[in-house]
């Protein structure tokens, strides 16, 4: 679940580990963007999106959204667990810091400087130099597949990133969809750290399922847009992660 197509990175990662897994992608086009909302507003929208997914009785729910994880994870777990394990998305600060700094954390303005992010920095990156880089408009541009807006937002964030940065943490799931454009804009060799792979692996662990990347690609795809059954939005197909899910559409449950 996510406000928009930021969930594609996690969905693609799950698909890579378990091609036979049935996926439900629950998004909220009626309520996005979530970033400018109050914590209470984010929680309200996230609960609605999660409950729409829960109607399909999933084995687990991945909260593929940093903003929802920051503000709504306790409420989501209270509403759905233990029947449905809920897995949040945490910025990959720890693995980025292990390799040594300096590191930069690209995130939405709401997350940048938040107590949540500062706590993660203190726990996992206290020994390295960390630059928090707000990226206004980038998540929204990615969600709309607006190439010009993406380029402007990426260029602005790259200009705010210290030149000696060795690693960049992608602190919003949307950013993983444009990782190579971010790398190109920074212009110096830099490691990028997203969360999708770790979140997918954690989801499998929570339900006791082993990775089976060689399994037959038999999983189905169900898409929910603010609770309504739909096809994968056209803008999702602008990204490799979305196109990788599209061939499954022949077996998907899109409703009436």
Catalytic residues, which ones? 65, 172
Q: How many CA within 13 A on the CB side of residue 2?
A: 20
Q: Which helix (H) or strand (E) holds 150?
A: helix 147-159
The pair phi, psi for residue 221, each rounded to 5°, is -130, 125
Angle (deg, nearest 10), helices 147-159 and 179-186: 40
- C-alpha triplet 140, 96, 208: angle, nearest 5°: 85
Residue 183 tokens read as 């790398």
Residue 107 contacts residue 80 (beta carbons within 8 Å): no
Q: Which helix (H) or strand (E) holds 169?
A: strand 167-170
Residue 87 tokens read as 């897995």
DSSP 70-112: HHHHHHHHHHHTTTS-EE----SHHHHHHT-S-EEEEE-TTTT
The residue whose two tokens read 């593929």 is 64
Q: How many CA within 13 A on the CB side of residue 8?
A: 27
The strand pair at 23-27 and 221-225 is best described as parallel
The strand pair at 221-225 and 191-193 is best described as unpaired
């Amino acid at each position: 679940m996510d406000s928009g197509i930021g969930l594609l990175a996690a969905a693609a990662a799950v698909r890579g580990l378990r091609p036979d897994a049935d996926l439900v992608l629950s998004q909220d086009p009626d309520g996005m963007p979530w970033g400018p909302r109050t914590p209470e507003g984010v929680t309200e929208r996230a609960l609605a999106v999660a409950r729409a997914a829960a109607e399909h009785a999933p084995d687990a729910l991945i909260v593929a959204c940093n903003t929802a994880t920051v503000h709504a994870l306790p409420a989501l777990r209270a509403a759905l667990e233990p029947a449905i394990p809920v897995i949040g998305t945490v910025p990959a600060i720890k693995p980025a810091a292990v390799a040594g700094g300096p590191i930069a954390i690209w995130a939405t303005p709401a997350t940048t400087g938040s107590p949540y992010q500062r706590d993660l920095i203190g726990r996992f990156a206290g020994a390295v130099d960390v630059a928090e880089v707000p990226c206004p408009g980038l998540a929204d541009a990615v969600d709309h597949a607006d190439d010009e807006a993406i380029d402007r937002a990426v260029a602005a964030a790259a200009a705010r990133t210290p030149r000696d940065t060795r690693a960049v943490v992608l602190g919003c799931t949307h950013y993983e969809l444009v990782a190579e454009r971010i790398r190109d804009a920074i212009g110096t060799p830099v490691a990028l750290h997203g969360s999708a792979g770790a979140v997918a692996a954690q989801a499998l662990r929570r339900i006791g399922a082993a990775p089976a990347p060689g399994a037959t690609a038999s999983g189905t795809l169900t898409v929910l847009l603010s609770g309504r059954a739909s096809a994968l939005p056209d803008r999702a197909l602008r990204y490799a992660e979305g196109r990788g899910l599209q061939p499954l559409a022949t077996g998907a449950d899109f409703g009436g």
